[in-house]
Amino acid sequence: MAKKTLSATPALNYLSKEGFEKLQKELHDLKFVQRPFISKQIADARDKGDLSENAEYHAAKEDQGHLETKISQVESLLAISRIIDETKLDNSKVMLLSKVLVLNHNVKKEFTYIIVSENEADFKIGKISVKSPIGAGLIGKKVGELAEIAAPAGTIKLEILSISFS
């Protein structure tokens, strides 16, 4: 009997245009600002003589290794990323890039969340990951529905008041 092999195809990463451009800028900075800076540090440290006892050289080489790893991670993420066309999204239910106004029944306050990919999440400005408990709990819900979300502090009850795209 033939053995089945599973291909490890990475899942696509869906981003807003803004999120995709932010990743591109980060990659540009890593490659064309930080990489030359570290290369200069290595060259300067190398000019100081004996490399076996040169702490500056070893620190710069370690920084270079971390930088190259980060560059590789961002390049891999960009390779599997796709920009979501917001004009083709349906605002009848919560989905990625939805701007959701909710009423938190626990504290009787309204909150606005924008559902984004993990890479774009920034809770301070209301952008929550689609994989976070709140994000996952809101996905697929429609205006008027109640999402009951298990959280460490207990169940959060969020009523969907409106859905739009920012």
149 alpha carbon, distance to own chain's centre: 22
Q: What CATH number is attached to the domain comprising 98?
A: 3.10.50.30
Domain shared by 77 and 94, yes or no = no
Q: How many domains does the chain have?
A: 2
Q: Model confidence over 107-158: pLDDT tens digits? A: 999 999 999 988 889 989 999 999 999 999 999 999 999 999 998 888 999 9
Domain shared by 23 and 68, yes or no = yes
Residue 18: give the domain boundaries. 13-83
Write down the pTM of the prediction.
0.71
